[in-house]
C-alpha cells in the first residue's frame, strides 16, 4: 500500500480483539535458535516485522512455517552464524539473534542495526553484557563478530544513560541460559515482553528467576528443548485502540487485553476524565465528560511507554488545556510534531519536551509517516480531523 486516506469525523463503535505482542514474538522467535527441537509459537501477529524474523531464521538455516498466527520452527541441516546486513538493517529487533547464536554456537556475526529516525539507538549495552559472559567482540565491516570458547555466568549491571534496555536484556538473557554457572542481570528491563521471553525460555528448560523485576538471575543449563508458547497480548495495540475510541468520541470494547500491563496509560486516561470499564481480559473505553489535558513523561516499564507517546499527543492536540509531554527514552522521538502541526495542531518542541496547546479541531491534510508509532498517531489524528487526511510512507505502519 502506498498511502492511507482517511475521511475523518466518524465515531468508532464496536468490539475489537487485540493480537499477540510484536515485541514479544520477535525475541521469542529468535530464542528458537537455542534448541534443535521443534518450537511452536502461537498468537504471532501477521506483520512485516514478524515476516522479516521468519526470513532471518530461514537465512540462519532454520525451517520455519508461519500460518494463521502460528510459527513453527524446526532445525534445518545446520545452523549458520551470520545474520546478514540486508535483513538486519530493515528491522532493529533482528539484532536479538546475537545472544541465542552465541549461546548455541559460541560464535555469531550479526550486522550492526544502525540508527533510525527516532534516535541514534546504540548497542553498547548489548555488547557490554555479551562481553561480560566471556565473549570477545570485534567490529568488522559493519558486523559484530562475537566468539567464545565457553560462556561463563557473571554479575552484569545493564543500566544505561536512558535506563534499562529491552533488547539488550533479551540478548544477554538468551546468551546466558546456556552459559556455565550463574548470571545476574542488574538493572534489567522489566517490560512484560522481556518477562514473556523468560517464560518461553523456562518452558525450554532454562532456569530463570526474577524476570519482570530489575534483577534477573539465570542458572546456566547444558541443553534446551522445544516447547509450545502463546505470546502475551500487545499492550501498544490495545493502548492505540483505547485512544481511537476517545479521539473519535466513540465506544469501543477491546478484547484480549492484559489490563495489568497498561497501568500507566489507564492512570493517565482516568486523570484526563475517560470512562474505562475493565473486566478480566477486556476494557470498554469511552468519554464520560469533556476530557482535560494531562502531562506525561515516558519512562521504562511500568512507566508510561514511549511507544504510546505519539498516539497520546494526537489526543492531547484536541483536548482543551496545555499538556507537557516529556520523552525520557528517546529524546528525539518527536517527528510527528511537525506533521500534527500541519493538521493545525499547536505543539511546540523544547528539547525533550513538547508543549501541546489543545485546539478545537484538527483539519485533514497530506502528512508523512516517519516511524511505526508516529504512523499510528497520524491515523488517530486523521480519524478525528475534519476532512481528508492522506498519510504517505505507510510502510512504517505495515511493520507493526
- Among 26, 60, 177, 231, the residue binding ligand UD1 under the rule CB under 6 A is 26
116 is catalytic: yes
C-alpha cell at 374: 508516529
Q: Given the complex with ligand UD1, which of 54 and 189 has the nearer CB atom?
A: 189
C-alpha cell at 194: 522481556
178 touches 219 (CB < 8 A): no
Q: Given the complex with ligand UD1, which of 81 and 92 has the nearer CB atom?
A: 92
| Given the residues 116, 190, 227, 377, the one annotated as active site | 116
191-210: which residues touch ligand UD1 (CB under 6 A)? 193
Q: Given the complex with ligand UD1, which of 62 and 92 has the nearer CB atom?
A: 92
- Among 70, 74, 131, 162, the residue binding ligand UD1 under the rule CB under 6 A is 162
Task: Tell me phi and psi for residue 226, to 5 degrees.
Answer: -75, 165
Nearest distance from C-beta of residue 198 to ligand UD1, angstroms: 14
- Among 6, 19, 23, 377, the residue binding ligand UD1 under the rule CB under 6 A is 23
CA dist 112 to 93, 129, 191, 204, 333, Å?
A: 11, 16, 23, 28, 21
Q: Number of residues interacting with ligand UD1: please give it, by CB under 6 A.
A: 24
Query: Can you give 4-29 as a three-state secondary structure string?
Result: EEEECCCCCEEEEECCECHHHHHHHH
Q: Given the complex with ligand UD1, which of 24 and 35 has the nearer CB atom?
A: 24
Nearest distance from C-beta of residue 250 to ligand UD1, angstroms: 26
Q: Which residues are bridge partners to 229 per DSSP?
A: 41
Residue 306 sits in the site that holds ligand UD1 (CB under 6 A): yes
CA dist 198 to 95, 123, 189, 216, 390, Å?
A: 18, 21, 12, 10, 41
C-alpha cell at 226: 522445544
210-269: which residues touch ligand UD1 (CB under 6 A)? none
- Site stretch for ligand UD1 (CB under 6 A), options 36-44, 103-111, 114-122, 318-326: 114-122
C-alpha cell at 49: 516485522
Does residue 220 sit in helix, strand or coil? coil
Residue 288 has a CB neighbour count (10 Å cut-off) of: 10
What is the per-residue burial (b if ≥16 Cβ within 10 Å, else e) of 237-263?
Answer: bbbbbbbbbbbbebebbbebbbbebbe
Distance from chain centroid for Cα 86: 21
- Among 41, 44, 93, 188, the residue binding ligand UD1 under the rule CB under 6 A is 93
- Site stretch for ligand UD1 (CB under 6 A), options 116-124, 178-186, 227-235, 334-342: 116-124
Q: Given the complex with ligand UD1, which of 191 and 339 has the nearer CB atom?
A: 191
Q: How many CA atoms lie within 13 A of 103 on its CB side?
A: 32
CA angle 200, 205, 211 (to 5 degrees): 50
Q: Given the complex with ligand UD1, which of 153 and 400 has the nearer CB atom?
A: 400
Q: Given the complex with ligand UD1, which of 177 and 194 has the nearer CB atom?
A: 194
Q: Please state, in angstroms and rounded to a whole number, the distance separating the CA atoms of residues 91 and 82.
A: 16
- Interface pattern 328-357 for ligand UD1 (x via CB under 6 A): -xx---------------------------
Q: How many CA atoms lie within 13 A of 183 on its CB side?
A: 34
End-to-end CA distance of the chain: 14
Residue 123 sits in the site that holds ligand UD1 (CB under 6 A): yes
Residue 160 sits in the site that holds ligand UD1 (CB under 6 A): yes
- Site stretch for ligand UD1 (CB under 6 A), options 31-39, 161-169, 196-204, 344-352: 161-169
Nearest distance from C-beta of residue 387 to ligand UD1, angstroms: 31
Q: Please state, in angstroms and rounded to a whole number, the distance separating the CA atoms of residues 63 and 41.
A: 14
Nearest distance from C-beta of residue 98 to ligand UD1, angstroms: 11
Residue 167 sits in the site that holds ligand UD1 (CB under 6 A): yes
Residue 383 sits in the site that holds ligand UD1 (CB under 6 A): no
Can you give the length of the chain in residues?
A: 400
- Site stretch for ligand UD1 (CB under 6 A), options 163-171, 227-235, 238-246, 384-392: 163-171
The residues that are catalytic are 116
Instruction: List residues binding ligand UD1 (CB under 6 A).
Output: 23, 26, 92-93, 119, 121-126, 160-162, 165-168, 189, 193, 306-307, 329-330
Amino acid at each position: 500500500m502506498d498511502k492511507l486516506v482517511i475521511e475523518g469525523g466518524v465515531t468508532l463503535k464496536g468490539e475489537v480483539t487485540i493480537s499477540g505482542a510484536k515485541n514479544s514474538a520477535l525475541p521469542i522467535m529468535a530464542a528458537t535458535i537455542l534448541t534443535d527441537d521443534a518450537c511452536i509459537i502461537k498468537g504471532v501477529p501477521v506483520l512485516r516485522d514478524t515476516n522479516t524474523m521468519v526470513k532471518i531464521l530461514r537465512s540462519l538455516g532454520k525451517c520455519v512455517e508461519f500460518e494463521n498466527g502460528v510459527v513453527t520452527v524446526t532445525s534445518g541441516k545446520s545452523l549458520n552464524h551470520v545474520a546478514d546486513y540486508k535483513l538486519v538493517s530493515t528491522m532493529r529487533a533482528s539484532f536479538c539473534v546475537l545472544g541465542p547464536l552465541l549461546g548455541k554456537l559460541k560464535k555469531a556475526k550479526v550486522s550492526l542495526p544502525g540508527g533510525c529516525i527516532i534516535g541514534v539507538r546504540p548497542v553498547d549495552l548489548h555488547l557490554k553484557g555479551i562481553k561480560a559472559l566471556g565473549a570477545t567482540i570485534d567490529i568488522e565491516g559493519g558486523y559484530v563478530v562475537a566468539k567464545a570458547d565457553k560462556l561463563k555466568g557473571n554479575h552484569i549491571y545493564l543500566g544505561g544513560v536512558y535506563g534499562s534496555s529491552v533488547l539488550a536484556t533479551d540478548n544477554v538473557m538468551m546468551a546466558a541460559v546456556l552459559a556455565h554457572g550463574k548470571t545476574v542481570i542488574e538493572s534489567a528491563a522489566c517490560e512484560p515482553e522481556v518477562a514473556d521471553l523468560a517464560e518461553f525460555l523456562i518452558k525450554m528448560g532454562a532456569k530463570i528467576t526474577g524476570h519482570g523485576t530489575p534483577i534477573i538471575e539465570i542458572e546456566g543449563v547444558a541443553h534446551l528443548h522445544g516447547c509450545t508458547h502463546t505470546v502475551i497480548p500487545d499492550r501498544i495495540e490495545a493502548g492505540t485502540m483505547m485512544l481511537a475510541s476517545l479521539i473519535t468520541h466513540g465506544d469501543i470494547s477491546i478484547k484480549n487485553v492484559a489490563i495489568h500491563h497498561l497501568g500507566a496509560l489507564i492512570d493517565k486516561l482516568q486523570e484526563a476524565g475517560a470512562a474505562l470499564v475493565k473486566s478480566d481480559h477486556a476494557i470498554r473505553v469511552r468519554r464520560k465528560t469533556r476530557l482535560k489535558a494531562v502531562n506525561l513523561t515516558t519512562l521504562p516499564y511500568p512507566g508510561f511507554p514511549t511507544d504510546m507517546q505519539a498516539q497520546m499527543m494526537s489526543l492531547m492536540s484536541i483536548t482543551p488545556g496545555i499538556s507537557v509531554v516529556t520523552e525520557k527514552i528517546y529524546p528525539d522521538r518527536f517527528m510527528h510534531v511537525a506533521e500534527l502541526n500541519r493538521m493545525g495542531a499547536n505543539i511546540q518542541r523544547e528539547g525533550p519536551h513538547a508543549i501541546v496547546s489543545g485546539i478545537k479541531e484538527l483539519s485533514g491534510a497530506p502528512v508523512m509517516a516517519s516511524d511505526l508509532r508516529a504512523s499510528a498517531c497520524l491515523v488517530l489524528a486523521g480519524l478525528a480531523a475534519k476532512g481528508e487526511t492522506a498519510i504517505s510512507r505507510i510502510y512504517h505502519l505495515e511493520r507493526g
